[in-house]
Amino acid sequence: MNILELRNIGKQFPGSTDWAVKDFNLTIEKGEITALLGESGCGKTTVLRMIAGFETPTSGCIYLNGECVSDDKTFIEPQHRQVGIVFQDYALFPHKTVWENIIFGLFRLSAEEVKQKAVKIIRICGLEGLEKRYPHQLSGGQKQRVALARAMAPEPRIILFDEPFSNIDSKMKTQMREDIRQIIHKTQATAVFVTHDTKDVMAIADKVSVMKQGIALQIGKPEDIYKYPVNAYVADFFGKTNLMMARVSEKGFITPMGLIEVDNIEAEPNKMVTVSIRPEQLKVLPEGKGHMVGKIIKERFFGEYKELTCIVEDHDNKKTEIIIYASPGYQCKSNKCYFEPNNNSLNILND
Amino acid sequence: MTQKKFLSNISSLKNKLLLTNPWISSTLIIASLISLPLIIIFLNIANDGGDTWQHIVKNLLPTYVTNTIILMLGVALLTFIFGVSTAWITSVYDFPGRKFFSWALILPIALPAYISGFTWAGILDYASPVYIFFRTYLGVETGQFLFFNILSLPGAIIILSLAFYPYVFLITRAWFTRQSSSVLEAAASLGRQPGSVFFKVALPLARPAIVAGISLALMEVLNDYGVARYYGVDTFTTGVFTAWFSFSNPASALKLSAYLMVFVLILIATERFQRRKLRFDITGSSYRPLARKRLNKKQTLIATLICAIPFLLGFLFPALMLLYWSYFTFSIVVDARFWELLGNSFLLAFLASVAVVILAMIIAYTTRSFPEKTVRFMAKVATLGYALPGAVVAIGILISFLWLESFLASAFNTAFRIAITGTWFALIYAYVVRFMAVGYNSIESGMQRISKSVDEASLSLGASRMKTLLKINTPLLSGSLISAALLVFIDVLKELPLTLILRPFNFDTLAIRAFEFASDERVAEAAPSSLIIVLVGLVPVLLLNKIMGTTEKQN
């Protein structure tokens, strides 16, 4: 069943003629972790706040558990939505202890149930022993887990995260992502989070909506979007890629690197199209092998791989810069790099 | 296009269910009740004032106009001189007395103008210990008053300026200390002398701040009744009293109140116009606080002298005089009736401050939760009272209550009379109108320091807005709430014109008692009541000093 459904959501802030969010659609099933990805100002946080009920959509409908919570006539206030939210600044109540923060949303239950639920969520979130502390006595990671525990304690229908990892240093991030993913799965919760970091998406999202200027460009599994981005913006946003123009031929695509053979060509012959090839889809070969060659102009060592920036020339001597990932131990004898693309590694973009 | 825009606005209002929202409708009710006195006054401006009004227009109005204008011009000039010179000296120079004067110069705020007024008249009076000293030891003899007749228009200008220059000092000083040093250093590096830097760069830059300070001072001048009456200067405010009490002509009192409002509106407009220029004056990210220049001995002497004059005349001398008188009259004045008076004043001030704080909380929380244009406008209306002279508020409320009473009397039967006028309710209502801005500003700035997501976290956990306000905002705001209540408490305690008009029969407050003693030529007996008002008034000034001290350390 769909836990959440957004139908043609639009938001226009007073005094602005632009749409902060336009015709936005999203359906989320129970247990899914969904990411809203985009640069700052793309409208992703506005979508999140509309789900929570802190912003009123200018148009469109929002359904929670099949029940309409916002359309032209209805507007359910945030306190009646049963939507949990973990804020970017955590928004812990500074005058309440960890325990008091966590039980704040449990006021409808009996004292016995409150205790039971709070103890359980404290254990799940690994906060044992911190119950009596005040927010200012906690580390950043602990604060976030308290915020998470507080949001999850009343067992909301859906839990929202606003930039959950942006305030955490990069060393802690990996651990935090794993923790949050586990907690969400352990409690069989449904979650939506907003981020500008593709790594967050790859690490924990089941589904992602890539946004730009208030519009959803592509929705799907992170892996699919990585492999088959619809346009240059998505391709570029989702990690490094080589974008180039190519001519459609009978066997495949004629790119500045040379001919790349493709099994099913879904394009008219002789048409010029934009294609994207991920750097790791280009395989470095021993010297002299393969039919593609580039002149190395830059090498960068990244630990698990080496990034090569090469110049390739087509028949008209037109130069194009491409990026290839080589093994970390790659040593170049001349300044030439021989390579070939993996099968079916090329992706046609819409524009 | 505009048509479409308009429609979309309506639908967004419908979405928010504007009027069925209890917060917004409460704010609307509060704002309407607060603006009621003002609306009543303007609705009745065209009423016929009869012969009395003819008499006032012909014989008194010209005096009111000239006196009020001269008073305002004089106070503007003197507060400018006192306020700006001391603000400049204490913010750009370093000398032994700087820290002391930075807060000592604010102290006159704790001394209400009318108290300072009759105290100074007493100090310079023929029978005062000061005059006796001058007469016996120095042989100075200058008639009824020492040096000059202080009970005059120039005397009133000096007294009001000494009482209100701290507004100019505070705002201008905050402005100077916030200025980045680079602008002034640039002027100096271009070869300008310090005096030239001040007049050509610092002063023009600070103009919006100075104008803001002076307009606050002038609003207080328009509000003043005590000094003008005691010094025999007929102004619009005293005119309202004359029309009401002496001529018993409400229509004339209303008309004079309306005229008084014209002065207020001109002041507000001037201040707003100047403030628009403030925007491009704010320094950017390259902020560097002023490095204070050390003064040599001779310069220190001059700086100390300039700062000492307003402090000594505006606070220390009158305060010492009050202490001296209190010492002698304490045993006569402080009797059972005095304690009753004290209790009355404190209870009244307490009730008013609780009312203001509760209503201000509702308005502040509504604007925070629903920051719509209409809601913010309501908040603006609700805080307009600070600009209304007390006499205007009182007349507006009195007239509306008299109507309400006669309406109720005729609607039910004459035996069933509810007397609202002349009750504590009318007084507290008036205080809420007049001092809402004081409480609201304090609470609002406190709320801005709480992250909005804290409220949202509470709502998302299922707590109602009321519960959020009580359980989350209120504990976090406790400091601001206390300071709001304290500021209103003090304002009510020293309030004079409004209380004089609206007080219940035979009901006195400390302020009224002090003023009545002084008016009966029993200045010394007015001292104990005055002293209590001054002492309570000192509390926020000392707190302010502490706050200023900590921010200075942080810088």
Model pLDDT, residue B310: 94
As a whole number of angstroms, the distance between CA A103 and CA A115 comes to 8
As a whole number of angstroms, the distance between CA B403 and CA B39 comes to 14
- DSSP secondary structure letter of residue A259: E
As a whole number of angstroms, the distance between CA B50 and CA B294 comes to 66
Model pLDDT, residue B415: 52
CB B325 within 8 Å of CB B333: no
Sheet with A242-248, strands from edge to edge, namely A258-261, A252-255, A242-248, A272-277, A347-348
CA distance A196 to chain B (A): 20
The percent of residues above 70 in pLDDT, for chain A, comes to 100
Model pLDDT, residue B370: 86
Rounded to the nearest 10 degrees, the angle between the axes of helix B22-43 and helix B336-369 is 120
CB A210 within 8 Å of CB A225: yes
Best A95, A114, A148 member to test B by mutation, with max B CBs in 10 Å, is A95
For A96, list phi and psi in degrees, rounded to 5: -120, 150
Q: Give chain A positions within 8 Å (CB) of B470.
A: none
As a whole number of angstroms, the distance between CA B235 and CA B242 comes to 10
B10: nearest CA in chain A? A58
Q: Is residue B332 part of a domain?
A: yes
CA end-to-end span of chain A:
35
Which of B15, B456, B461 minimises the CB distance to A56?
Answer: B15
Type of residue at B256? L
Q: Is residue B8 part of a domain?
A: no
Q: Count interface pairs A-B at CB distance under 8 A.
A: 83
CB A33 within 8 Å of CB A178: no
3-state secondary structure of A304: coil
The model scores a pTM over 0.95: no
3-state secondary structure of B332: helix
Residue labelled with tokens 């247990």: A31
Type of residue at B175? W
Q: Do A151 and B461 lie within an 8 Å CB cutoff?
A: yes
As a whole number of angstroms, the distance between CA A95 and CA B476 comes to 7
Q: Which domain holds residue B214?
A: 21-554
B343 Cβ neighbours under 8 A, 6+ residues apart: none
Q: Do A105 and B453 lie within an 8 Å CB cutoff?
A: no
CA end-to-end span of chain B:
50
Q: Is residue B6 part of a domain?
A: no
Half-sphere exposure of B84 (CA within 13 A, CB side): 21
As a whole number of angstroms, the distance between CA B432 and CA B441 comes to 14
The percent of residues above 90 in pLDDT, for chain A, comes to 33
Task: Give the number of other CB atoms < 10 A from CB of residue A291.
Answer: 11
ipTM, 2 dp: 0.76
Task: Give the number of other CB atoms < 10 A from CB of residue A302.
Answer: 9
Task: Write out residues 495-554 of B within 8 Å (CB-CB) of A.
Answer: none
As a whole number of angstroms, the distance between CA B432 and CA B350 comes to 12
Least confident range of A104-118, A286-300, B192-206: B192-206
Model pLDDT, residue B291: 67
Model pLDDT, residue B181: 64
Mean pLDDT of the region A114-142: 91
In CATH, what number is assigned to the domain containing residue B530? 1.10.3720.10
Best A87, A102, A150 member to test B by mutation, with max B CBs in 10 Å, is A87
Interface of A with B (CB under 8 A): 12, 14, 52-54, 56, 58, 72, 75, 77-85, 87-89, 91-95, 104-105, 107-108, 147, 150-151, 154, 156
Q: Do B457 and A150 lie within an 8 Å CB cutoff?
A: yes
As a whole number of angstroms, the distance between CA B454 and CA B220 comes to 39
Q: Is residue B120 part of a domain?
A: yes
Best B370, B455, B460 member to test A by mutation, with max A CBs in 10 Å, is B460
Q: Is residue B14 part of a domain?
A: no
A315 Cβ neighbours under 8 A, 6+ residues apart: none
CA angle B300, B303, B309 (to 5 degrees): 130
Model pLDDT, residue B190: 63
Residue labelled with tokens 């993996």: A342
How many helices (H) does chain A have, and how many strands (E)?
8, 20
As a whole number of angstroms, the distance between CA B265 and CA B46 comes to 19
Q: Is residue B81 part of a domain?
A: yes
- Please state the domain count of chain B: 1
Judge whether B463 is closer than 8 Å to chain A, CB to CB. Answer: yes
Task: Give the number of other CB atoms < 10 A from CB of residue B226.
Answer: 27
As a whole number of angstroms, the distance between CA B176 and CA B167 comes to 14
List, for residues A66-95, the tens digit of each pLDDT value.
899 998 888 888 888 889 999 888 888 888
Residue labelled with tokens 């005349």: B313
As a whole number of angstroms, the distance between CA A173 and CA A179 comes to 10
For residue A168, pLDDT beyond 80? no
As a whole number of angstroms, the distance between CA A183 and CA A59 comes to 34
> Residue A212: enclosing H or E segment and its boundaries?
strand A207-212
Mean pLDDT of the region A326-350: 82
Q: Is residue B5 part of a domain?
A: no
Residue labelled with tokens 């009020």: B68
| Three-state DSSP string of A25-80 | EEEEECCCEEEEECCCCCCHHHHHHHHHCCCCCCEEEEEECCEEEECCCCECCHHH
Strands A282-285 and A336-341 turn out to be: antiparallel
Q: What is the mean pLDDT of each run of 10 residues along chain B (555 residues)?
A: 38 53 89 87 77 81 90 94 92 87 88 90 80 76 74 91 92 78 64 71 80 88 89 88 82 84 85 66 52 82 92 92 86 80 88 94 91 86 85 86 78 60 82 90 86 89 90 88 86 87 83 85 83 85 68 50
Residue labelled with tokens 């300072």: B116
Least confident range of A144-148, A219-223, A255-259: A255-259
Q: Is residue B2 part of a domain?
A: no
Q: Do B456 and A107 lie within an 8 Å CB cutoff?
A: no
Model pLDDT, residue B549: 60
